[in-house]
């Protein structure tokens, strides 16, 4: 990983649709060199996927929330059962395991408060592995998910 690779990753995080020609121009490389570098970074796993960022509000998803879940049990089968449940729920877009009081932090997008209420009270809380749920509704998303820093150590 050299500085050119870092610059390539930074450029692709800004616009994943850049062609090899555009990357080459941006990096002062030939089209084929830029394409080979991108292919190598994909093969090595630095680039995991190319995705489109959608506008939640335009899709009718007007409520974003973070939900902390504390588990009743730390048994592996309890965690697996809970994770199977959340993987099936489209409104759950991210799940992290945590240290501290909560075992999981989930980011969810719902159409409205009623839908969030259903998710919490009819899906999450009744699950036998769940002890407690704490939710926080997002009022404003003031900094969008930023690109990862590419200039490190």
Taking only the tens place, the pLDDT of each residue in 17-37 is 999 999 999 999 999 999 999
Mean pLDDT within 109-121: 98
Q: What is the largest CA-CA distance in the chain?
A: 58
CB within 8 Å of 83: residues ≥ 6 apart: 95
Fold of 3-43: Arc Repressor Mutant, subunit A (1.10.10)
Fold of 63-137: Alpha-Beta Plaits (3.30.70)
Domain edges within the chain = 3-43, 63-137
Tell me the average pLDDT of the chain. Answer: 95
């Amino acid at each position: 990983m050299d500085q050119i690779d870092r610059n390539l990753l930074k450029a692709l995080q800004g616009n994943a649709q850049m062609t090899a020609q555009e990357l080459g121009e941006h990096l002062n490389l030939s089209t084929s060199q830029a394409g080979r570098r991108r292919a190598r970074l994909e093969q090595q796993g630095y680039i995991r996927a190319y995705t489109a960022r959608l506008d939640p509000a335009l899709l009718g998803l007007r409520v974003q929330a973070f939900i902390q879940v504390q588990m009743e049990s730390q048994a592996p089968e309890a965690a697996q059962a809970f994770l199977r449940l959340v993987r099936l729920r489209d409104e759950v877009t991210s799940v992290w395991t945590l240290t501290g009081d909560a075992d999981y932090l989930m980011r969810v997008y719902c159409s409205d408060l009623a839908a969030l209420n259903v998710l919490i009270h009819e899906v999450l809380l009744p699950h036998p592995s769940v002890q407690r749920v704490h939710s926080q509704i997002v009022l404003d998303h003031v900094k969008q998910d930023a690109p990862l820093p590419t200039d490190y150590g």
